[in-house]
Structure 1
Amino acid sequence: MTSKPVVVIGGGLAGITASVDLADRGHEVVLLESRSRLGGAAGSFERGGVRADTGQHVLLRCYTEYRGLIERMGASSLVSIQDSMDIPVIIEGRPIARLHRGQFGPAPMHLIPAVARYGALTPRERASAIRAARAIRSIDPDDCMTDERTFGEWLRSHGQNDRVIRRLWGLLCVAALNLTPDAASLALAAKVIQTGLLAEVSGGDIGLIQAPLSQVHDDAAARLLAHLGVTVRRGSRVTAVDQSDNGFVVRTRSDEVAARGAVLAIPHQYAARIVPPSAIADPDSWGGLGASPIINTHLRFDRTVTHLPFAAAPESPVQWLFDRTSALGIKTGQYLVTSTSAADSLSSATAQQICTSQYDALAVLLPGVRQAKVLDTFVTREPRATFRQAAGTARLRPQAQTALPGLVLAGAWTATGWPDTMEGAVRSGHVAAEVLCRSASGSLPTNDPTGSSRREAIA
């Protein structure tokens, strides 16, 4: 009798990672993805002959597991990472400031000169920020009481004024957690700053994918999965997962798949709808995780309007801007994308209103914008870009293991200890595969009797 496969539901980074790990251990894997592409929220689409990205996704050098997945995919050449963290910061009426770590001393001492030279703050404010950075080192991100506090409240209790919060801590927090400091979890903010800025000198070096996102998260991922023998079924929206006598039945809109184990690697609001009632005590509690939106505005100009590859604008509606001209293979003019996180206030705005607002804001920051002709402009919305990483949400994030052996959860919203990032998603996929393979029922031992695995990268 043919053995049943392990079914992975969801082809985002968590599902891709779990599929790779399970295939490495010798399991037959079927990956079901509702969309026509892999990659989840980090994907691309065609517009005007250009493969435009749905959103802007930045990585850090400390994203070790995500970078490892990229290497497995054979796509490392498409990623560029700074030699040293360097964030240009544009504030209206001021010279461009830079948050640049340089090459000074071991961690965390390397951060002192970076902040001390940060021209967006006064000398007194820089000294205050350095003291706060030292205090952040002592925060325990795994303490449940830490998660109950907001980052903004903690910052003010440690002498940070509104301008320091806006121009330094908010710049980092909004980008990493998709929430303002006054709403964001102190635990998650501490995790970001400790891991990215304080633990290792190079941890905060910024990386960008120098290609359309789908070239990595879809094309390269599909090649790796095929190489490992994973069956990928696109356009397969799962409607239910039911427990059977010796496994599970995964039902889609058109058919069903008998499975001996399953990984539920989809966003929490969808996972709650299809998880078996006996698997989770209260999946409705996941609704408390909420969602935070990100809105991206794409503007294509007939000429170059900035030579910055990216920049932060913490006091502008722009927030962050990225030059994607070369990455998208555009030969003339310039293609900029602005990325607005924690974009709840724009949820009811029309695309035209957003485009006009972002263009006007860009023109204030980049004088060359007014002299350029706009060839195309449009908006991409990510209404559920991340779960709402607010104070008090740690208790709502579930572990990978469910009450049903052989059924596990994956996704950046699960209890990874990391924020909702690409790194968190990949780490959750690793954990899900590990938990599934040591399932308490013993029904999913590795199929590889030698204990070896196929961990080679594809060419």
Structure 2
Amino acid sequence: MADTPQRVAIIGGGYAGLACAVDLTRGGAQVTLFERSHTLGGRARVVVKDGHRVDNGQHILIGAYTELARLMRAVGQSPKTLERRPLTLVTPGTLALRAARLPAPLHLAFGLLFAKGLSWADRDAMRGLMRHLKKYGDRIGAHATVAALLHDTAQTPRVIELIWAPLCVAALNTPIERASARVFANVLRDSLMGTAADSELLIPRTDLTELFPVQAARYLATRRGRLDTGTTIAGITRDERGLALTGDSLPSRRYDHVVIATAPYHAGTLLRSAGCDTLADQVDAFEHEPIVTVYLAFDESVRLPEPMIGLTGAPAQWAFDRGALGGEAGLLACVISAHGPHEALSREALEAQVREQLAATLGRTLPDPLWSMTITEKRATIACTPGLTRPGIATPVPGLWLAGDYVDSPYPATLESAVRSGSAVARAILATPRDGETR
């Protein structure tokens, strides 16, 4: 038995499931991954529509998020796939804050000193919040909101509007009035208050499926891992021979471990099939926040001053120049995070409003787009609210595990949280003795 590899089934081909599969395969386990779609990546994937290949959302990483970078290296992805830039927050004509290429904490100190668009009161307020988090960050109450934290640290209205509110909704996908101060503090602590490398922005130069999922699938294929796409798993059963999966045309295999690495709103049904009703109720109770991406394709003369800029007004918070990131020249992606009034607009009205917002921010008239597209992920992430209890990786059923961005983590529901959960499950499985085996 000691020489027999662990047999593991993973349900879900998103970042969490693929991270788990890669680390399990590296550890010698026998892995089969099931994905009901034919496109890998889950809620961070490429979409091909009307002949255009775009992401279903825009994701940025920070240097402190090291686990995804590790896994990308492990599967052979080039580090050049990520555009590494010092922390840069630019809203044309309004704000320009760039971290200096200096060791911490000088990188941020000099960035604040030479920032444009901030008064000395604004800078003092930002430094005050950093000092507060350094002294009390690990003691922030579980039920405190980001809005309360900003009020208690005397942040100015301008700093809140231009920096903290956009950063909060970008990182937590939850507005400051409802977002967890504790989780936001964790993000700021590990990025702005870490090393200069920790605060860097890492922006993908390729689509989200190519960034990691495709490379991970190739890695598994060369190491005898099985990948079954287009396969829907209906349930999970357990008997004395192990865990089994139910669904159409599935072989009658038994597994030592099964990992549920689906989106949380799909996990509940699988958990109930295995008898984990209480855990399923907890997962089903999560609130979700949407992310809308409005793509506007112009001719190649339309460019942004930076690969990523903040936008003034509403409804979008950020715009990405995909042409500057290895994509189609003139293609801009405008991101609207969380719930808001924009949800009541038609697609045409929303795209027109975003185009007007973009033109106002850039201070120029924009031509009619060559084409446009709006992609809405209605349940992109769980709402990162105060007091939220997220499940751990273990379930009440031996050998049954959870992985996903919603699993317990100091960070919000990000790609980094997803891959960290998958890697944590892999470590737990590899450390679990099989019957008749000791570790």
- What 5-or-longer segments of structure 1 have no aligned partner? 450-459
Q: Bigger shift: 232-241 or 257-266?
A: 257-266
Matching residue of 2:66: 64
Matching residue of 2:315: 317
Q: Distance in 2 between matches of 1:289 and 1:215?
A: 29
Q: Distance in 1 between matches of 2:437 and 2:258?
A: 14
Matching residue of 1:388: 383
Q: Count residues in correspondence.
A: 434
Matching residue of 2:99: 101
**Cα distance 1:176–1:304, how it changes in 2: closer, same or farther (>3 A)?**
same
Does the alignment pair 1:162 with 2:157? yes
Matched residue of 1:137: which SS? helix
Matching residue of 1:433: 426
Matching residue of 1:345: 341
Matching residue of 1:269: 265
Q: Distance in 1 between matches of 2:40 and 2:349?
A: 31
Q: Bigger shift: 110-119 or 334-343?
A: 110-119
Does the alignment pair 1:403 with 2:396? yes
State the shift of 1:343 in Å: 3.4
Matching residue of 1:234: 229
- What 5-or-longer segments of structure 2 have no aligned partner? none
Q: Distance in 1 between matches of 2:87 and 2:418?
A: 23
Q: Distance in 1 between matches of 2:306 and 2:50?
A: 25
Matching residue of 1:9: 11
TM-score, normalised with respect to structure 2: 0.92
Query: Can you list the C-alpha shifts for 1:227-286, whole angstroms capped at 9, x where unaligned?
Result: 222100001121111122221111124435432211111122211111145446442122
Q: Is the 8 A contact 1:265 1:411 kept in 2?
A: yes
Q: Bigger shift: 95-104 or 151-160?
A: 95-104
Does the alignment pair 1:146 with 2:141? yes
Q: Is the 8 A contact 2:242 2:254 kept in 1?
A: yes
Q: Is the 8 A contact 1:37 1:218 kept in 2?
A: no
Q: Distance in 2 between matches of 1:429 and 1:8?
A: 10
State the shift of 1:444 in Å: 10
Q: Is the 8 A contact 2:83 2:203 kept in 1?
A: yes
Q: Is the 8 A contact 1:147 1:391 kept in 2?
A: yes
Q: Distance in 2 between matches of 1:361 and 1:186?
A: 29
Structure 2 matches for 1:45-124, cutoff 5 A?
45-90=47-92, 95-107=93-105, 109-124=106-121
Alignment-mate amino acid for residue 424 of structure 1? S
Matched residue of 1:414: which SS? coil
Matched residue of 1:248: which SS? strand
Matching residue of 1:284: 281
Q: Is the 8 A contact 2:267 2:283 kept in 1?
A: no
**Cα distance 1:436–1:312, how it changes in 2: closer, same or farther (>3 A)?**
same
Does the alignment pair 1:133 with 2:116? no
Q: Is the 8 A contact 1:321 1:337 kept in 2?
A: yes
Does the alignment pair 1:293 with 2:286? no
Q: Distance in 1 between matches of 2:322 and 2:436?
A: 44
Query: Can you list the C-alpha shifts for 1:98-138, whole angstroms capped at 9, x where unaligned?
Result: 2211034533x542332333323321121112111111123
TM-score, normalised with respect to structure 1: 0.88
**Cα distance 1:174–1:272, how it changes in 2: closer, same or farther (>3 A)?**
same
User: Which segments of structure 1 move beyond 6 Å, counting only runs of 4 or more?
Assistant: 1-4
Matched residue of 1:103: which SS? coil
Query: Can you list the C-alpha shifts for 1:342-399, whole angstroms capped at 9, x where unaligned?
Result: 13433343211211111111111124442x2310011001111111001111x2x111
Matched residue of 1:289: which SS? coil
Q: Is the 8 A contact 1:280 1:402 kept in 2?
A: no
State the shift of 1:318 in Å: 2.5
Q: Is the 8 A contact 1:140 1:146 kept in 2?
A: no
Q: Distance in 2 between matches of 1:188 and 1:230?
A: 36
Q: Distance in 1 between matches of 2:177 and 2:185?
A: 14
State the shift of 1:222 in Å: 1.6
Q: Distance in 1 between matches of 2:75 and 2:436?
A: 26
Q: Distance in 2 between matches of 1:6 and 1:429?
A: 13
Q: Is the 8 A contact 2:236 2:274 kept in 1?
A: no
State the shift of 1:48 in Å: 4.4
* Aligned pair partner of 2:299 in 290, 297, 302: 302
